[in-house]
Structure 1
Amino acid sequence: MTDRPSVVFVCVSNRGKSVMAEGLMRRVAGDRFDVSSAGTEAKVGGSVNELSAEVLAELGVDITGHAPRQLTGEIAAAADLVVVVGTAARVDPPPGVAVEVWDTDEPSLRGIDGIERMRIIRDDIAERVGELAERLSVRS
C-alpha cells in the first residue's frame, strides 16, 4: 500500500451501493484515503439513485453531484483495494490489487422496500466502511 491507500468501491450501476460506500468512506476517513467508485455496467450520463442520496443526506453526506462512472482496467489497476459492494457485480482482480466482495444485506428479499430498505442498506455499508477504514489505517 502507498502512503495514502486507494480504494475503489464497485457495484453494477454506480448509482447506489458503491456511491453510498464512497460517500460514507469520505465522511469517516476524510482525506486519509483516495476514494472513488465505479460500476461494471454504469450508464454514463445517469444520476445517483434518489433514495440512496436521501438516506445519506440524513447523515449529512451529499452524493447528489455524483455521475456514474464505468469501471475500467486502468481504474481497478490503479487502486490498492477494489471493494465490490453487493454480489451482483463481477470484477476480475487486476494483478497486485486486492479485491473484497461485501455480501451486503438485501432487505427486499424480506419484503422491505423504499426508504426503509435504503436505510438498512446504508447502515450495513456504513458499518463495513468503518471497519475498512480502521483496517486501512492500521496498514498505512
Structure 2
Amino acid sequence: MSTPKLLFVCVKNGGKSQMAAALMRQRVGDAAEIRSAGTEPGAALNAQSVESLVAVGASTEGEYPKPITEADLRDSDLVIVLGEEAQLPEGAANVERWITDEPSLRGIEGAQRMDLVRDDIAKRVDELATRLGL
C-alpha cells in the first residue's frame, strides 16, 4: 500500500489546518504524507494554536501559512477542509469537510477555546487515521 497523501485546508492556514496536520503527524508519523495550506493564508501561525499543540506534545516546527495550489489538490489522495469558510476550486476531488466545534459561539475564548478546538480536531484526526488504517 502506498503512503497516503493528506492535505488539510482552512482559510488562513494559521490555526485549524495547521493543528490537524500537526496532530496527524503526531499520530501517524511518516505513515502518511501530511501537508496543510490556506485559501487566503495569513502572515503567521496562530500563537494560541501553537501553544495548545505544544501542551499535548504536537509540533508545528518549520511550518508557516502556505497558499493552496493546483498541484496540492491534484497530488493529494484526500483533502480535508476545516470549517465552512474555506472554499476550494470547483471540481476538486476527494474532499471531506470537517465542521469543527466553535467554542466562541458559547462565549468561550482564549486558551480554553483553543484547547476545545484542538480536542475536537484530535478526535477527528484519530477517526481518520483509523479509517485509513494508519
Class of the TM-score when normalised by the shorter of the 2 chains: over 0.9
Structure 2: 5+ residue runs without aligned partners?
none
> What corresponds to 1:136 in structure 2?
132
Q: Pick from 69, 80, 88: which aligns with 2:66?
A: 69
- Matched residues in 2 for 1:62 and 1:26: separation? 9
> Displacement, 1:66?
1.4
Q: Is 2:113 aligned against 1:113? A: no
**RMSD over aligned Cα, in angstroms?**
1.4
Aligned to 2:27, the other structure's residue is in SS state helix
Task: Give the structure-1-normalised TM-score.
Answer: 0.90
- Matched residues in 2 for 1:131 and 1:7: separation? 14
> Displacement, 1:64?
4.6
- Matched residues in 2 for 1:93 and 1:64: separation? 32
- Matched residues in 2 for 1:5 and 1:93: separation? 23
CA contact (8 A) 1:93 1:99 kept: no
Instruction: Name the count of aligned residue pairs.
Output: 134
Aligned pairs for 1:85-100 within 5 A? 85-92=82-89, 94=91, 97-100=93-96
> Displacement, 1:92?
3.1
> What corresponds to 1:79 in structure 2?
76
Identity of aligned residues (%): 46
Structure 1: 5+ residue runs without aligned partners?
none
Q: Is 2:52 aligned against 1:55? A: yes
Task: Give the structure-2-normalised TM-score.
Answer: 0.94
